[in-house]
């Protein structure tokens, strides 16, 4: 399951650094988004089933969620586990000694795995052009042909990689012929290649099909489904929910959760609302299912249900469900939800990461309300202040840019955040002009120093443009002196083992906000 972004402390042991962990999460998020897009092209209507599967945000609060696949089609009920891989393989994580952490835990035979390559173009993650699908039932039937890798850490019961053999060409080409024992391929250069098909492999390609290097399985030990096309609107989540309301097992809870998730977008509004209300009021149900039902009611009915969801941040039975309530609230596309998030952000007695999640929802997750974050740039909590800064993004209005400049005289904490925010603005020339004006109007050396520092953070081209009309040539020399440290200090460099908190958090903004797409 792709919930590792909320299990940071436990999973980080398998990675060399936070950077490696973030890269891993980013591949997973881009992979889930790529599988979503591919399945939608096959007629499905895919939503997130596992929350945040298309996000790479790292939270330190571990949320104990149900074991679920990543994606769900609300038309046919298909559930899909998505896997983005730097090297395309039929590979999953497995803990053979722990039934709850087996690779197939929480999965039904009809569920799918979708594998695709994800590679980086510089710092930009890119999904490959081909998604490879396998049924869980076929993976189970061929598990004896898979290989189990070494433990990922020294602790007892550590995860291991389980890999089913499959062949991926390392060159671009076209399939020319397939017989019982060999492929004939033509590379882009025109050279013919004859590839033996291992006796236990099933061919996956047909003559005439093209393939890209590293992005397509041509054979493997696991049979592939003949089609992944959606059969249409054949799943009734209302009926599924009613049929298992009396169940209390985790498996039942997982299926209830999937039905509840789909009901938020179900076409029969009256039936969906009734089923969601019944689930929310059923105190015997798993709280995670009930909370999701409340989110569905908030999305459909707004008003008091948005407020009820906000109250769960205070009334939830555990810290992780407090956090989950904020994340669900962030998915609600309404002004009322934005106001509720702002109320949560303002409550300094709440856990700082709960408040930070509210800030993230206001800025990153589809609400587009950076104006509600400006006053928290100097919040006493570093976590809240940093998340507010990054969540404001770089595309905020001219009015907010001017308001940010007025924070410089407040205190050093506010000034530091303000100059970083201004330097991140999408229009570097406007930012440079504004900071130069702040410098010229500075009443104290300290204010002048902050303005100079902000100018040094900007691109030199933008600064030189703003300085072209300045009568004081010494300003350029002062900025250059500050810039030496910013550009040459290896401790601030991206390659350092501890990159700046702003830079690191800014790369955790892969977020498709699927519920806000309507």
Q: Give the three-class secondary structure for 449.
A: helix
Q: What is the pLDDT of residues 295-341, one digit of tens each?
A: 999 999 999 999 999 999 999 999 999 999 999 999 998 999 999 99
Distance (Å, rounded) from C-alpha 476 to C-alpha 251?
66
For residue 389, which of 400, 74, 256 has the smallest C-alpha distance? 400
Rounded to 10°, the helix 304-315/335-346 angle is 30
Please give the pLDDT value at position 480.
74
What are 32-57's pLDDT values in tens digits?
999 999 999 999 999 999 999 999 99
Cα separation, 32 vs 501, in Å, equals 26
Contact between 240 and 253 under an 8 Å Cβ cutoff? The reply is no
For residue 503, which of 335, 390, 362, 369 has the smallest C-alpha distance? 390
CA gyration radius, the chain? 26
What pLDDT is recorded for position 502?
83
Structure tokens at 16: 């060399």
Q: How far is CA 376 from each of CA 106, 135, 311, 399, rounded to the nearest angstrom?
A: 41, 48, 22, 17
Q: How confident is the model at residue 402 (pLDDT cuts 50, 70, 90)?
A: very high
Q: SS3 letters for 37-73? A: HHHHHCCCCEEECCCCCCECCCCCCCCCCCCCCCEEE
Burial class, 226, CB count within 10 angstroms (exposed 0-12 / middle 13-18 / buried 19+):
exposed
Look at the block and give the residue holding tokens 């009809």: 110
Q: Which of 218, 174, 214 is nearest to 193 (CA)?
A: 174
Nearest partner of 279 among 322, 232, 246, 308, judged by Cα: 246
Both tokens of residue 288?
């995670």
The pair of three-digit structure tokens given for residue 102, joined into one six-digit string: 């087996």
Contact indicator for 43, 81 with CB cutoff of 8 Å: no
Q: Which residues of 76-89 are buried (b: 16+ CB within 10 A; e: fewer)?
A: bbbbbbbbbbeebb
When pLDDT is averaged across residues 267-285 and rounded to a whole number, the result is: 94
Q: Where are the domains of the chain?
A: 1-159, 166-220, 395-518
12 has pLDDT over 80:
no
pLDDT band at 478 (very low <50, low <70, confident <90, very high): confident
Tens digit of pLDDT for each residue in 109-139? 999 999 999 999 888 899 998 999 999 999 9
Distances (CA, A) of 460 to 212, 401, 457, 466, 467: 41, 20, 9, 10, 10
Longest CA span, the chain? 83
Whether domain 166-220 has CATH 2.40.50:
yes
Q: Distance between CA 121 and CA 126 in Å, rounded?
A: 7
Calpha distance 436→454 (Å, rounded)? 9
Long-range contacts (CB closer than 8 Å, 24 or more residues apart) made by 186-195: 195/167, 195/169
The pTM assigned to this predicted structure is: 0.88
């Amino acid at each position: 399951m792709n919930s590792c972004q909320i299990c940071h402390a436990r999973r980080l042991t398998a990675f060399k650094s936070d950077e490696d962990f973030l890269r891993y999460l980013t591949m997973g998020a881009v992979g889930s988004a790529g599988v979503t897009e591919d399945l939608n092209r096959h007629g499905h209507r895919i939503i997130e089933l596992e929350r945040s599967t298309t996000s790479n945000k790292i939270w330190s609060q571990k949320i104990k969620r149900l074991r679920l696949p990543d994606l769900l089609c609300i038309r046919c009920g298909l559930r899909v586990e998505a896997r983005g891989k730097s090297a395309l393989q039929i590979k999953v994580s497995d803990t053979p000694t722990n039934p709850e952490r087996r690779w197939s835990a929480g999965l039904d035979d009809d569920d799918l795995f979708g594998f695709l390559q994800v590679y980086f173009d510089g710092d930009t993650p890119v999904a490959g052009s081909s998604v490879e699908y396998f049924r869980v039932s076929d993976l189970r039937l061929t598990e004896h042909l898979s290989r189990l890798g070494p433990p990922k850490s020294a602790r007892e019961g550590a995860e291991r990689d389980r890999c089913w053999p499959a062949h991926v060409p390392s060159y671009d080409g076209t399939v020319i012929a397939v017989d019982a024992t060999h492929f004939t391929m033509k590379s882009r250069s025109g050279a013919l290649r004859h590839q033996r098909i291992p006796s236990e492999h099933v061919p996956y390609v047909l003559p005439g099909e093209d393939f890209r290097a590293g992005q397509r399985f041509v054979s493997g030990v696991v049979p592939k489904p003949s089609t992944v096309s959606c059969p249409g609107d054949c799943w009734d989540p209302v009926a599924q929910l009613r049929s298992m309301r009396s169940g209390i097992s985790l498996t039942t809870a997982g299926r209830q959760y999937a039905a509840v998730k789909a009901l938020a977008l179900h076409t029969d509004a009256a039936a969906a609302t009734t089923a969601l209300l019944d689930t929310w009021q059923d105190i015997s149900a798993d709280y995670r299912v009930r909370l999701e039902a409340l989110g569905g009611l908030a999305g459909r009915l707004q008003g008091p249900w948005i407020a009820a969801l906000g109250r769960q941040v205070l009334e939830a039975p555990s810290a992780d469900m407090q956090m989950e309530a904020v994340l669900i609230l962030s998915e609600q596309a309404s002004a009322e939800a934005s106001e509720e998030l702002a109320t949560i952000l303002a409550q300094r007695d709440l856990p700082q990461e709960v408040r930070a999640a509210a800030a993230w929802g206001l800025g990153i997750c589809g609400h587009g309300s950076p104006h509600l974050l400006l006053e928290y740039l100097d919040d006493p909590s570093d976590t809240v202040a940093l998340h507010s800064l990054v969540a404001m993004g770089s595309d905020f209005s001219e009015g907010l840019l001017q308001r940010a400049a007025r924070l410089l005289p407040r205190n050093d904490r506010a000034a530091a955040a303000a100059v970083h925010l201004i330097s991140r603005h999408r229009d570097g020339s406007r930012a440079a002009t504004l900071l130069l004006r702040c410098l010229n109007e500075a009443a104290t050396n300290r204010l002048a120093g902050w303005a100079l520092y902000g100018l040094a953070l900007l691109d030199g081209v933008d600064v030189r443009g703003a300085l072209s009309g300045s009568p004081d040539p010494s300003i350029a020399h002062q900025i250059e002196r500050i810039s030496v440290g910013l550009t040459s200090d290896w401790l601030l460099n991206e390659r350092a083992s501890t990159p700046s908190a702003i830079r690191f958090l800014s790369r955790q903004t892969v977020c498709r906000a699927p519920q806000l797409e309507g």
